[in-house]
A and B are shown apart, each in its own frame.
Chain A
Amino acid sequence: MALDQFLTALDSMLGEARACLETVDSAEALEQLRVKYTGAKSGALKSVQKMLAGIEVKDKPAAGKRFNEVRDGIEGALSRASQRLGCSNQQESAGPVFDPTLPGLRPRLGTIHPITQSLEHLKEIMGRLGFNVTEGPEIEDPWHNFVALNIPEDHPARDPLDNFYLATAKSSDPAAQTNQPARLLRSQTSTVQIRVMETQSLPLRIISLGRVYRPDAPDATHFPMFHQMEGLWVDRNVTMAQLKSVLRLFATSYLGGDVNIRFRPSFFPFTEPSVEVDYWWNGQWIEFGGAGMVDPNVFQAVGIDPEVWSGFAFGLGVERLCMRRFGITDIRDLYRSDVRFLRQFAT
């Protein structure tokens, strides 16, 4: 075979292959082209390589050199096309060959923590009732945690034994020592109410969910860190009747079925009047949480006129709802991070 003929065949193949590979637009078409040109049995390169045997001995070095260039050119075009289409070039993959007949290693999938499930569930229900989810910092100052919530200095709730104050007095920053009052881990999510009322315009309908911290010795029903859901509705004519309706709708959605709730008079510094809320379930009244009409002192602390606006607030312990829903009897089990236990509550 003449060298010229061979070289022409090589060049036309390279031109055609490049043209096809530059315009190829699917992984399937690319794979077909790969087989067509570089297939091990009947690829175009393979057949051209067979023709190399018929070349005269003196022309063989030039023909071989050109063949190698064309092969590299086609392979280069193939890998560019493969990269462009985003599929891996199997020919260049490293490591052991994939053997689909071997038994697989099942990946360890996590499950959603029951508390996270409960939080999402609560957000979803309250979202349907028109409450926006808001968040606030877990490290708070006394203004947001106490003062604005009508909890004066020397109130038992501010006792260092009942709160996690941060040791800022030991801070090396002198400004922190002189100007800033001791910060603390928030002891209630009501702090978010204050932050929202300080910054957002009225009317408001929000919930905040999150962690709160109190130095309780851990037992079956107490843990130094737990979650609360806080709700706040401020508008021109918010009444206790609306509070009761919202909480009843909430209880009905959460527990399923028509659930009755009742109010018992109580006392909280940030609401007046205040109530404890119970719901009727399985033949008994079960404590639900605390609620009430926002105290005028709280409105005044954030510059809202209590003669014009009214509002209600409520707070619920998320753990208690979660434990009842999942039949968990010891709060500490939620935070032992034992995946064998937590896996049981996979959705």
Chain B
Amino acid sequence: MALSQPKDAGVVALIDALGAVSDTGCLAAARADALTRVRATGLPTRRDEYWRYTRPDTLTQAEVPTAAVFAHDDAPMFGEIDQVRLVFVDGVFDPAASDDPALAGIVIERLAEVQQRDIHWAKEVYGKLETAGQTPVARPLAALNTAFATDGIVLHVTGKAGKPVSISYLHENDTSDAILHHVIRIDAGADLTLLEQGPGAARLNKVMEVEIGDGGAFHHVQAQGRDHERRAVTHTFARLGTESRFKSFTLTVNGVMTRNECIIELTGDDAVAHVAGASVGDGNFHHDDTVFVTHDALNCESRQVFKKVLRNGATGVFQGKILVKKDAQKTDGYQISQALLLDGDSQFLAKPELEIYADDVVCSHGSTSGAIDTDSLFYLRSRGVPVAEATDLMTLAFLAEAIDEIDDPALAADLLSRLQGWLARRRS
């Protein structure tokens, strides 16, 4: 395969730093193809419209910006929930800390092992959804990930998984640069809950490709850790079959740079996709949710619910799009992005988009930013609730619509207590 000329010097520097692409095993072709694509497109720069509100330089530079390991004594997230726990430390799988991956209804493997085989089903998914997700907007950091991912989890869900699979990403090295790629296939009628937590590395590039068969269901809850200096770019690519369900919720607390992209394609009739996020940031926090939902089948429903609490100069970004193709009649699309600005220094940048080619659809979108409502605050205070507590109460109320997207009450309660902790720590 002839390599095209790289577009910019940055891509050369980063590719050189990452070393050679693995050229054996069942994923070699996908990796080579991804490398060709990222060389052709180059890495994102500030001039790209898609990166207008987020500076990509620290995500694309060859040298990893240092992120001090953040010491805290928080109880492990979702610790009370029965789960199969898989652990990565700075992007390296830790078998000793992980549970035996045997679980009824699901086959759990590691990408590093799968890719050594000549034949494996993962070949049919790895890089495929990512490639499809490059149109109409290029996502070079996802292609880079497909080329260079060192490891990841490969899940084949054949029935109803007996308990959630959880992936913990620990961060112990202040210059770690992790590239992880997960591949998930959910068979027709099968069901999986995936939990993810932790910062992962000083810089984490994570891709997850999820293929959901007819009538299948995928529940996803992730929390990105509260390291102050960590950086992350994540892409979730999902393709949904007939009557399948996709529900994803992300909690982001702190982090100087987070870009979470979610690219969903509804390809089977009557499918449902909900993607939601709550993020809270203080100071030099930058958080970007970029979502692209494509309706390409009849009678599908999609919801995007994103809420951000920003203070002390923090920045929140939302770019959300609903694309309804010509034959996707009876589409029900909803999108809301809202920011609560706790002071005048913080900012929220939003770009909601609808692009609709079908004529029988219901689509709505809204985006707001504002301060705490002074009338409500006074009402609470007049009943004796101190101003700090009243502000917290209203902040949690603001986030409620996003948290309500989590089906499991135990998971929602755990996340809520983390948010309460974050708020309590910030009371002056």
- A joins B in a complex: no
Binding site for A on B (CB under 8 A): none
Binding site for B on A (CB under 8 A): none
